[in-house]
Amino acid sequence: MRFFVEIIAERLHGELQGDPKRIIEGVAPIEKAGEKDISFLADPKFLEAAKNSRAACILAPDTAKKELESFKNCVIYVKNPRYAFMLLLREAEKAMRPIHPVGIDDKAAVSPAAIIGHRAHVGPCCTVEAGAEIGPGAIIEAGCYIGHNVKIGARTRLYPGVKIMNSCSVGEDCILFPGVVIGSDGFGYVFNNGVHEKIPQIGRVIIGNKVEIGANTCIDRAAMETTRIGDGTKIDNLVHIAHNVQIGKGCIILAHSTIAGSVVLEDYVTLSGQSCVADHVRIGAGATLMGKSGVMSDVKPGALLCGFFAKPRAEAFKIEVLKGKLPEMYKELKKMKKIIEKLCPEEAAALEKTTDIGQKPALPARPPEKPPVPLKTETENIETKPSVYSPENK
């Protein structure tokens, strides 16, 4: 990376303060930037650090002109410094990223019936099956598998070891990181005669445009229809998405999240790390699940949930606070019990008969025993009626 400051200002549509011919060769945090680095100021609490920075140039908000007018080096004023810095990082990434040669590597196995687009790259040890289509400018890095009738959109990048199974589709400008598996079978079985019989999974997966999928994430194909990921959705590492899930546009799904079968995520839903969603649940647009939340029923649009089972955040936080106070509450309860014993002995005695906190329930009182039935003597057990053979009956 090597740019004149004036070129950067022009590309970012910013207002330049300082030497337009200053050369930028790197990017760095504001407190660590050197004399050839560019950095950014997005949070006012770092204003003093910016004033004392050694950075060759700082991207700053338009509102900071007065505070930075005496800065010794260059400043580019923009509306959103964080976004501008992100655009600059893209340019740095291009400079650092290895340039892949156009065409098919000699060590790749590509079917004659596959279509490879203009200026696409297929790396070594890749397999591309019959009927597959690789879009223009797509990059398929080493060791990827592209199944039968798969479609890969223009400029999409598959890092090493990605597997796209038969009949699945990936849109344009997507990024799939190492180990991603798209189109593995959904987990479906029928129990019959003591055996789990596999249900064939003959659906597919369709991934929209500008989707990013993190390393070792798995997205299962539907049993009959389509598992769908909407445009602009970003999925972190180690996420599992089951069969027939429908994910809207612009969703954020963080690491270790698990989404069970036939779940619907409407647009712009956020699942924080280790979130779990039970099957056939619908999560409304703009809803957020905080870390380790577990959802068993539908969620309203815009809701902010926390905990397992997930509750509205304010309610969940209150419950957690109360849990921490339970030992103290128990001590106070015991004090109250002693006071009652002194003031109201009879009520205290009645209280003793009930279940005490922290102790086993009192056993129910035994019913009063009946007085024993006196046993008959041997003579009392002899029949006293006269016998038919008695002389009295003659």
Query: How many Å apart are CA 144 and CA 54, to the nearest integer?
Result: 44
Q: 79 vs 13, 379, 393, CA distance in Å?
A: 9, 116, 130
End-to-end alpha carbon distance in the chain = 139
Query: How many Å apart are CA 38 and CA 50, to the nearest integer?
Result: 11
Query: How many Å apart are CA 247 and CA 228, to the nearest integer?
Result: 6
Task: Write down the catalytic residue from 121, 240, 243, 256.
Answer: 243
DSSP 389: T
Query: How many Å apart are CA 335 and CA 7, to the nearest integer?
Result: 75
Q: Are 277 and 295 in contact (CB under 8 A)?
A: yes
- Short-list 364, 344, 345, 346, CA closest to 354: 364
| Residue-wise DSSP of 48-83 | HHHHT---SEEEEEGGGHHHHTT-SSEEEEES-HHH
DSSP 308: B
280 is catalytic: no
- Short-list 174, 182, 181, CA closest to 153: 174
The strand ranges marked E within 179-272 are: 181-184, 189-192, 195-198, 204-207, 212-213, 218-220, 226-229, 234-235, 240-241, 246-247, 252-253, 258-259, 264-265, 270-271
- Short-list 125, 135, 119, CA closest to 105: 125
Query: How many Å apart are CA 37 and CA 92, to the nearest integer?
Result: 12
Helices 345-353 and 313-343 cross at an angle (nearest 10°) of 130
List, by residue number, the catalytic residues. 243
